[in-house]
Amino acid sequence: MPSPLSAQPLRLALFQSSGRPGSVAANLKALDEAAGRAAAAGASLLVTSELFLTGYAIGADVHHLAESADGEGADAVAEIAARHGVAIVYGYPERDGTQVFNSVQLIDASGTRRAGYRKTHLFGGFEREVFVPGEQPVVQVELAGLRVGLMVCYDVEFPENVRAHALAGTDLLLVPTAQMHPFQFVAESVVPVRAWENQMYVAYVNRTGPEGEGDAALEFVGLSCLAGPDGATRVRGGHGEELLVGEVDPALLAASRETNPYLRDRRPGLYDSLS
């Protein structure tokens, strides 16, 4: 169930960007600049897009650029987080032995690795060819008095996935994503509904612009957003690169949960047997 909430709003920044696909060094530089801007805007948390560290539509290079959760990329992100005093959630391909996962990691403002999540629902042939699906649906960490959950892109489109977070008490769900045309309705409609029906904030942070070549070419639609438990979109991005700043208000979250009875009125005995 929901945890006791901090009285202070959490200001977070959503970095809507594809960086430079295939160049970890360039993406770390972009992340450093975004962290500085986020800190200047008073944000204590910066969230990037899916596979931000390497790029998404880079084919077999994903395997060449994959690294462990405590690898050089993680060390570089930790240094950026500590220097700017901003917690960072970033997407990257995680190598564990011979397996590669589509992962996100949260590093706090001191540069400490706090949580890692492996995408559980892989989208399309490319992801299924290069990644292994994760098996842990709910990953949470306490941050600034809030229970923060992690997810990746396609995962949020499964209502059971988000409901598991709601039942585990997640207050703010962070969803680095790579949402492409023509599926922008997910950003526009599905994400605010997920926030409403599960009584939580959802931060959905997308890539933007063209990526890949030939048959593998994709057009990422942007439209990153921060949706609240009342179903309202607090922050909404356009189609280009930008840094969006919004707030998670614990008072609104508590009031909305008191008013909205979804979780209290559930009758799990009617559908627990469904698979």
Catalytic site positions: 50, 119, 153
Other C-beta atoms lying within 10 Å of the C-beta of residue 72: 11
| CB 62 within 8 Å of CB 95 | no
- In the numeric block, the tokens 């917690």 are attached to 87
Long-range contacts of 124-128 (CB under 8 A, 24+ apart): 126/57, 126/59, 126/216, 127/102
Query: One-letter amino acid identity for 17?
Result: S
**Neighbour-count burial for 180-218, b at 16+ CB within 10 Å, e otherwise:** beeebebbeebbbebbbbbbbbbbbbbbbeebbeeeeeb
Structural tokens at position 58: 């880079």
